[in-house]
Amino acid sequence: MEKKIKVLFLTSLFGKMGGAEKNVYDIALNIDKSRFTPYVFCLKGGELVDDIRRKGVESRIIDLDKIISIEGVRKGAGLYRFLKSEKIDIVVTYHHDADIWGGAIAMLARVPVVISSRRDLGYQLEKKHVLAYRALNRFYTRIISVSDAVKREIMRREWTSGDKIITVYNGVEIEKYASAKCMGTPFRDSLGIERSRRVIGMLASLRPVKGHIHLVRAVAEVLRQRSDFRVVVVGYKGSDYYKEVESEIGKLGLGGHFMFLGDRKDVPEALSSFDMMALPSLSEGFSNAALEGMASGKPVIATDCGGNPEAVIDNETGFLVPPADSHALAEAILKLLNDSELGRRMGQSGERRVSRKFTLRNMIETNEDLFAYLARDKKRISAGEAFLIGKTRLKKAAKLSLSGLFYYSGAYSVLKKKDPLPRILAYHSIDKVRLKPLEIEQDAENFEKQVLFLKKNFNVISLSEFLKCMRDGRGYPRNSVLITFDDGYRDNYTNAFPVLKANGVSAAVFISTAPIEMGEPLFFDALRYAVMSTSRHMLDLTGFGLKRYLLEKSDEMRASGVIREITLKSKEMDNSRKSELTGFIYERLGLDYEELKGKRLYLSWDEIREMAGCGIEFGSHTVTHPRLSALSPEACSSELVNSKKLIEERIGRPVKTLAYPFGGKMEFNESVEKAAREAGYECAFSLCRESNGFTMGRKMVDSSMTMRLNGEFSAPLFGSALMIRR
């Protein structure tokens, strides 16, 4: 049995329930106690400390007002002793005092993992805090940001690399809000609100940053057109700001339209009584209230600041308005008051969005995966790892030096003239290079330079010219090159096609028809997107005959290795099992598969016809991109015949060529070649070194054979790589 991981949550405040407090509370209570032992310490505490203690979580109030003081040193020594004696594995800090004071002590105590959890945009930070963060950030194991907006702000303000920062969204217990839906009318009745009136709700403590005063001014505008509503505000009101808001309400004569309920335990019931939710915050890391409103099926009007746009989709789950703009807020409120059906649709859309992306379970599991990953794989670069990194860079430098010598010495030109066979190049995606080790992406600007190099130094031939030479048995044009693309990514149209067209260069594109017809991503692409998009750090696929994988996007070699290993295993699965695996991966990683499908990764038939009309030729890459050698003869024939037939029907041109999916020597055999001939193909292409008269080998172009260490195109490296046949 594995030793439990001890996690200490250290927060500056733990008295009333706020955003950071809710995060600590939810994780500490719901984390898997068979794997983790949570502790909650706070510099200043209150009722939440007693509450969480009663529920079985060890908690303490440190009772510290000033971290830079004699008392701070004394209390820090006590915390240091606790961390050492209890052998705490992970410390997670919240708020700047706990971050700076507690983070530094945890580092001094050599706690293996120290995490700073950031919940807002830093609106309370002073210059001294920013300077302290700039000094400490490099020593945190990780920084958790509550939204991508917070992540960007940390990077900008504190000069911190994005690789260190992980976004983990808040989550809500959707079942709690769903079960309270029937309580809306009784709750209104208890407040004495007539059933004919609409309710505009707000859930936020009365603090200036929450923008209540702007809602008051917006309501004054709304009253010029509608008066059949009440505004119900839930949240702590023991503040001077509450008096300021009350004063503004009195000045504008709105007393009969506002109700301030203070802190409530029955928040789901209160939310169920609302017709809409207004959140006029001036600054927001990521709003729990927005998620709660959406989970209750209510349209949410939020300000377009911080992480709000990552939760609320404008004109879909509600409206986004500029901060401190009471007029825009009033207009959004009126739209929902005047169109109940619009509000209902937006509420349903928001509820679906929360259930897919922002559940409490998803948040807890994301944190569990991160804690487990960091506790067992500290991401410290060992001497061995540093050696490997250095070795890789030295090999690259040596390769660049040798290619330069080969290119500029004249040996390149001599060999090029003597080689009678065409070079067949295979590309895939022409877009931003995200994972170099996967070798399927080429930067668009780099690709343009490659095309210019090929046009200047080689005779670029079309697929038809290649087939004619092959068919006639005569020699190929001297120094000929054939450019091909596999899979039919849409960036072949948006990024590659304009370059090819502008330079009068032909190419061939091999397409799988199912992704184009059905909009269903290929397994490899769905997996690649999942690994690079998730904030999770563990993926357990033991139920599919695989293993538990550590995921780390910033480690290109590891991320690529995971993708390759899972893809290799998927080749043995039928389409049904592969679909099941895809669904499981997306559910486990907290991702929305429908969102990926909506991105349209592949060419459309209209785009294909446009490209075909401009000299780009098309071949088959089968229907579903399977390992052909693993299929029955009937299934193999179906893949080859049906893809060919459909492409010919859609573009009105004959299809004579095929590229084997995956392209390796294990992906095809004599039976597959025979089936391809019987299906009417004149030639097939692999990604192997050898050619046999029917199946022609190709060289896959990857960034390692085109780019210098600084990412720029290298003509000597590319030219030299073309001379090496593999």
Distance between terminal CA atoms of the chain? 49
Q: So what's the pLDDT on residue 414? A: 47
What domains does the chain contain, in order, with CATH numbers? 5-171 (3.40.50.2000), 174-358 (3.40.50.2000), 421-518+600-706 (3.20.20.370), 523-575 (no CATH)
List, in sequence order, every beta strand (DSSP E) within 187-298: 198-203, 229-234, 258-262, 276-279
Mean pLDDT score across all residues of the chain:
91
Angle at the Cα of 24 (from 21 to 209), degrees rounded to 5? 30
Q: So what's the pLDDT on residue 382? A: 38
The answer to whether residues 235 and 268 touch, using CB atoms and an 8 Å cutoff, is no
Please count the other Cβ atoms lying within 10 Å of the Cβ belonging to residue 614. Answer: 11
**Residue numbers of the chain with a pLDDT score lower than 50:** 379-394, 396-397, 399-400, 406, 412, 414, 726
List, in sequence order, every beta strand (DSSP E) within 315-366: 318-321
Predicted TM-score (pTM) above 0.85 = no
Sign of the C-alpha dihedral, residues 406, 411, 414, 420? negative
Query: H or E segment at 548?
Result: strand 548-550
DSSP, collapsed to helix, strand or coil, labels residue 433 as coil
DSSP, collapsed to helix, strand or coil, labels residue 327 as helix
- Between CA 512 and CA 523 the distance in angstroms is 12
Q: So what's the pLDDT on residue 706? A: 80
Q: So what's the pLDDT on residue 390? A: 46
pLDDT digits (tens, 9 = 90+) for 460-483: 999 999 999 999 887 889 889 999
Q: So what's the pLDDT on residue 196? A: 93
Tell me the H-state helices in 55-123. Answer: 70-86, 96-97, 103-108
Give which of 214, 238, 218, 234 is closest to 226, Cα–Cα: 218
The answer to whether residues 699 and 385 touch, using CB atoms and an 8 Å cutoff, is no
The answer to whether residues 136 and 93 touch, using CB atoms and an 8 Å cutoff, is no
- Between CA 397 and CA 403 the distance in angstroms is 10
Count how many Cα atoms sit within 13 Å of the Cα of residue 630 in the half-sphere of its side chain: 16
The answer to whether residues 604 and 624 touch, using CB atoms and an 8 Å cutoff, is no
List, in sequence order, every beta strand (DSSP E) within 239-291: 258-262, 276-279
Query: H or E segment at 460?
Result: strand 459-461
pLDDT digits (tens, 9 = 90+) for 393-436: 445 445 445 555 545 555 545 455 555 678 999 999 999 888 88
Structure tokens at 471: 């068919």
